[in-house]
Structure 1
Amino acid sequence: METEKPGALRYPPRLNQAESDDLVQAVKNWALAHGLTIRPQPSVVSDDVDPQGLLAINVPVTLFPSPFPRQCFDQARSVQQTYNELYAAISRDEEFLAGAVDEVRDGDEFTSNLWDVHLRVKKEGYTQNLSLGLFRSDYLVHQDLPGNEPQIKQVEFNTIAASFGGLSAQTTLLHKFLSTSEYPLLQQSITPESLVLPENDSARGLAAGMRAAFDAYGDSELGHERCILFVVQDGERNVFDQRHLEYALNDTLDPIRVFRIPFSQLLDHTSIAQTPKRQLLYHLPRNRSKTFEASVVYLRAGYGPSDYPDQRAWEARYHLERSAAIKCPTVLTQVAGTKKVQQLLATPRSDADADADGPSILGRFIPDPDDAPLSAQVWRTFSNIYPMDTSEAGRKARQVALDPELCLHYVLKPQREGGGNNHYREDIPVFLEKTPESHWGAYILMELITPPKQENIILRNGKLEEGGVICELGIYGTCVWNQSTGELLRNEEAGYLLRTKGDTSNEGGVAAGYGCMDSCALV
């Protein structure tokens, strides 16, 4: 069954040239005025044209909010707090995570190196028991056959650098503005009453999670003013998304000082106090006499191998991990977000244990789905995911992955975050044939999710792209927990993200140039 569209007429409406021109101008002006922006890619504006990095353009965005099934939207929101609790519990289970790392170690040096950072700090002794999670659980609407009820299926769970919370809130506001100012004036008029646009305060929701961790840290015993450090990539293009979170932390009766520091400069501008607690001290580069104590470190870098070009980068991550700052995320929480963990959680009870009556792997962390309604709702969001190891299930998955017909229904995923890392359909056997078989266990094989067909118009780099689209919903969550006791100090849902891409594109990353920002029109 195709998703019902807002209103009785064609959606999105067919625009004449004048309407298209006016709507594009309205979007560009609003986006630039409200920070719905991104630094342009070099292919759009070269460094020679803008050597000082002065320019910004509107982020790729849809002209209209995309229809999204209300029941799927509500389902995704209703399980987020359970997902927060789940991943907090996983991060505390060192034995389970060690086993997951061992299964991918041969083909995934990056995850192995992360785990080695944890082992180094564990040997020395952790000084900070509190952890902060700014999570995002991503879903596609799955409709296997026309006429069947749509349902959400999880694409992945993000535990590090879960981006676009700042821009998502602005995109919702953009579409609400257009619904009252522009859509009613079209020849095929769309009235504000015909669009159900849910509220979305993702920027403030994520900032509230950081605020909770900042407060839980307590006052500085060294007498320093405290701060939050945003650790970012060099040449970050998605800077405005991050800035919205910073501004939300500042726009309160009790503002929090926020500093941005490139990952590559951590060892230059931070030090660890020579105390048992090992406080993390930030020395302001423009005035070294100013020293701040970092209560919270928010990582928007460090999630992929390219952020670690040399051993010094790994020393910087160790430097953070051994400090007293509350990390978002810790190494353990980052490892909990790997695709291998996602695959293990989705393993059915009968395959999870030699004793079929024992708990599922999911049941190791939250009440087993057979016993708890919320756990059952989480279970229903899982897709079919298989290991690529030498187990019986792994050998069967390898046969599927190498079959030129069967592979057309699957995606092969490494233990990576960010767009551009996956291998789809007919590319899977080609990739595996070029990859040493000893490395195959570092991947998981996931059944492709089949979203319903719909259309929209995307404004990207000043040009319109019209046609079929696929929408991916992300639900944000914030969680602060005690790594030793398991106590949850905060567990909240924190808004949503809708990313949309052309239906012929496999990847969906906005900053990577694949997808665009969107918002939901519930139907």
Structure 2
Amino acid sequence: MADLKDDQVDRLVSEIHDYQITHGSLLKLVRLQEHGNPSVPCRPVSVSLLPTAFPGRLFDDALALQQSFNELYVRASNDHQWLESVLRPLLQYDEFVRVLWKIVQDTRKRGQAQPIVCGIFRSDYMVQKDSMSLKQVEMNTFSVAGACHAERAAKMHRHVQNALGIKHNGTLLESNNTSSLVESLALAHEHYEQATSHKVCVLMIVQGMNFNIADERPIEYGLVHKGIPCYRCDWYDVLSSTTLDRDGTLLFSHSFDGEHFEVSVVYYRAGYEYAEYEEDGIRIRLHLEQSRAIKCPDVLTHLMTLKIMQAALAKQGVVERYLPLDDASGVRGTFMPMQPLDGSEASQRLRQEAMAPTDGARYVVKPNLEGGGHNIFDEAVPQFLELLDREVSGGYTIMRMIEPPQDIQGLLNTGDRIYRGPVVSELGVLGTCLWRRGKEGVEILSNKAAGWTFKTKPTGVQEMNVVKGNGCFDCPLLT
């Protein structure tokens, strides 16, 4: 199918656009929406026009690893002493980490209002070409996005295959991401112990001016379909829309009729950006964390999403502290060489290798920021490291770049052009977990691999963040 003629590509694009429009595979262009104008400007999410080849063996390996990754991050987040030792160097100069850690401390002082925690995770992988093995790009534990977009992309490719009679040399996958995430939040809702006579709801904390509603609303609607009320609350409306009873019960006031709901689960789709944590933002997070509502996730698990955590877990013997040896071996096999830039001997060695002119393109430097677009790649690495202030260097992680196969071809609609040529794909495996924190450790109540995402970009494009214009949602064609 790589030799499609222009008129065939045009027909493919038209079929896909119609599917996206009628199935909500869209981004809401909120900044273009005029006050008082009833029209809603949107654009289709960038997608591949054909599914992209991916090794079936590695896809199966990634799914099989997810429960181990879930358990690793859950147990590490409960090791307060280890967590503090990793974060301590950052507390001197990283205001965001300092704020989150202060919320941890303040919450602990007041006592644990809710020991049960819910997690929705995503472990991202690429293929390392020399060994044809999975290598982890990063682990996401907070406000994980893309699940609903990925499910629609998979269903879109199955529709196009049937509608246009396209034949593929491989297996197309189905996706049930949305129902998996809904089930995880519903399970948390079931574990909540109601304290009042009010109806009980899940509260989804969202950003204002939200362009990515098509990745959030299906989860809300899925919960409602199961008979569980779910309401959205803008981050900056939390303090005006919710109150805490003396026992920590969180009550939400429905804006239309003023009805009060007892909140069973706080599901974060906001609160991951430093700009959200000015004085009011800190009060908002502390207000929610100190409630009896089950958090998805709590602030301890939020901290685990930092890049420095990935590097800290990769150090010798750390994974083995939290997992059985067989499970630890599988997880460790996905790690690339990486180190926090903390001044250690291993860190200095990796830093010197990256600064060598011939090796600069083989490393990436990552700050502890979320949302994509912050990493330093290729020829920019040596200069960045040369200028980086030693006092703040611990806020960055240096990692050997994954070198994916160069012979994978793709056909992408990036939103502003049709791209044919070599591509790089990133497989994300979703995981859901429910656990209880206690003085004796962690009791894991549920632990599942919950689905997958798949994104593809033209070779040479460094970042992978579809909603910010880098790459496309795709479906793996298992070979």
Same fold (TM over 0.5): yes
3-state SS of paired residue (1:97): helix
The equivalent of 2:163 in structure 1 is 181
3-state SS of paired residue (2:270): coil
Q: 1:284 aligns with which of 250, 254, 272?
A: 254
1:399 is aligned with what amino acid? Answer: Q
Q: Partners of 1:334 and 1:115 in 2: how far apart?
A: 10
Q: Partners of 1:380 and 1:442 in 2: how far apart?
A: 25
Which ranges of 4 or more aligned residues in structure 1 deviate by more than 4 Å? 47-53
Superposed counterparts of 1:2-151, under 5 Å: 12-40=1-29, 46-47=32-33, 54-144=40-130, 149-151=131-133
* CA drift at 1:519: 0.7
Count how many residue pairs are aligned between Structure 1 and Structure 2.
476
* CA drift at 1:50: 9.7
* Structure 2 residue 465 is the aligned partner of structure 1 residue 512: no
Q: 2:310 aligns with which of 322, 326, 342?
A: 342
Preserved contact between residue 387 and residue 397 of structure 1 (Cα < 8 Å): no
Q: Partners of 2:338 and 2:354 in 1: how far apart?
A: 12
Q: Partners of 1:367 and 1:65 in 2: how far apart?
A: 37
Preserved contact between residue 414 and residue 471 of structure 2 (Cα < 8 Å): no
* Structure 2 residue 441 is the aligned partner of structure 1 residue 466: no
The equivalent of 1:166 in structure 2 is 148
* Structure 2 residue 167 is the aligned partner of structure 1 residue 191: yes
* Structure 2 residue 437 is the aligned partner of structure 1 residue 483: yes
The equivalent of 1:361 in structure 2 is 318
3-state SS of paired residue (2:369): coil
Preserved contact between residue 108 and residue 415 of structure 1 (Cα < 8 Å): no
3-state SS of paired residue (2:257): coil
Q: Partners of 2:212 and 2:418 in 1: how far apart?
A: 21
Q: 2:211 aligns with which of 237, 242, 246?
A: 237
3-state SS of paired residue (1:486): strand
* CA drift at 1:491: 0.6
The equivalent of 2:333 in structure 1 is 380
* Structure 2 residue 453 is the aligned partner of structure 1 residue 497: yes
1:281 is aligned with what amino acid? Answer: L
The equivalent of 2:279 in structure 1 is 311
Superposed counterparts of 1:259-274, under 5 Å: 259-274=231-246
CA, structure 1 residues 89+233, in 2 after alignment: closer, same or farther (shift >3 Å)? same
* Structure 2 residue 377 is the aligned partner of structure 1 residue 424: yes
3-state SS of paired residue (2:195): coil
Preserved contact between residue 106 and residue 442 of structure 1 (Cα < 8 Å): no
1:170 is aligned with what amino acid? Answer: R
Q: Partners of 2:318 and 2:456 in 1: how far apart?
A: 32
The equivalent of 2:176 in structure 1 is 201
* CA drift at 1:251: 2.5
The equivalent of 2:263 in structure 1 is 294
Q: Partners of 2:33 and 2:198 in 1: how far apart?
A: 40
The equivalent of 1:228 in structure 2 is 202
* CA drift at 1:462: 5.9
The equivalent of 1:356 in structure 2 is none
1:240-277 Cα deviation digits (max 9, x unpaired): 1111111222233xx111111111111111111122xx
* CA drift at 1:507: 0.5
Preserved contact between residue 107 and residue 441 of structure 1 (Cα < 8 Å): no
What stretches of structure 1 of length at least 5 have no aligned partner? 1-11, 185-189, 349-359
Preserved contact between residue 126 and residue 404 of structure 2 (Cα < 8 Å): yes
* CA drift at 1:434: 4.0
Structural RMSD (CA):
1.7
CA, structure 1 residues 53+264, in 2 after alignment: closer, same or farther (shift >3 Å)? farther
The equivalent of 1:8 in structure 2 is none
Preserved contact between residue 414 and residue 469 of structure 2 (Cα < 8 Å): no
3-state SS of paired residue (2:181): helix
CA, structure 1 residues 423+50, in 2 after alignment: closer, same or farther (shift >3 Å)? farther
Q: Partners of 2:266 and 2:160 in 1: how far apart?
A: 37
3-state SS of paired residue (2:342): coil
* CA drift at 1:327: 0.7
* CA drift at 1:342: 0.8
CA, structure 1 residues 72+50, in 2 after alignment: closer, same or farther (shift >3 Å)? farther
What stretches of structure 2 of length at least 5 have no aligned partner? none
3-state SS of paired residue (1:295): strand
Preserved contact between residue 166 and residue 243 of structure 1 (Cα < 8 Å): no
* CA drift at 1:49: 10
TM-score by length of 1: 0.88
Preserved contact between residue 217 and residue 326 of structure 1 (Cα < 8 Å): yes
Preserved contact between residue 225 and residue 292 of structure 1 (Cα < 8 Å): yes
2:185 is aligned with what amino acid? Answer: M
1:128-178 Cα deviation digits (max 9, x unpaired): 00000000000001112xxxx511100000000111111111111100111
* CA drift at 1:492: 0.8
Q: Partners of 1:285 and 1:321 in 2: how far apart?
A: 22
CA, structure 1 residues 377+50, in 2 after alignment: closer, same or farther (shift >3 Å)? farther
3-state SS of paired residue (2:84): helix
* CA drift at 1:457: 1.8
3-state SS of paired residue (2:423): strand
Q: Partners of 2:199 and 2:344 in 1: how far apart?
A: 53
Percent of counterpart pairs with the same letter? 33
1:304-338 Cα deviation digits (max 9, x unpaired): 21222x21111101111111111111110011221
Q: Partners of 1:50 and 1:65 in 2: how far apart?
A: 40
1:85-129 Cα deviation digits (max 9, x unpaired): 111101111111111111322342211210110001111112100
3-state SS of paired residue (2:228): coil
Q: Partners of 1:465 and 1:306 in 2: how far apart?
A: 35
1:15 is aligned with what amino acid? Answer: L
Q: 1:448 aligns with which of 396, 401, 418?
A: 401
Preserved contact between residue 387 and residue 393 of structure 1 (Cα < 8 Å): no
* CA drift at 1:463: 3.5
Q: Partners of 2:367 and 2:206 in 1: how far apart?
A: 23
Q: Partners of 2:389 and 2:93 in 1: how far apart?
A: 9
3-state SS of paired residue (1:437): coil
Preserved contact between residue 410 and residue 424 of structure 1 (Cα < 8 Å): yes
Preserved contact between residue 354 and residue 362 of structure 2 (Cα < 8 Å): no
Q: Partners of 1:22 and 1:50 in 2: how far apart?
A: 36
CA, structure 1 residues 16+327, in 2 after alignment: closer, same or farther (shift >3 Å)? same
Q: Partners of 1:284 and 1:125 in 2: how far apart?
A: 29
The equivalent of 1:187 in structure 2 is none
The equivalent of 1:522 in structure 2 is 478
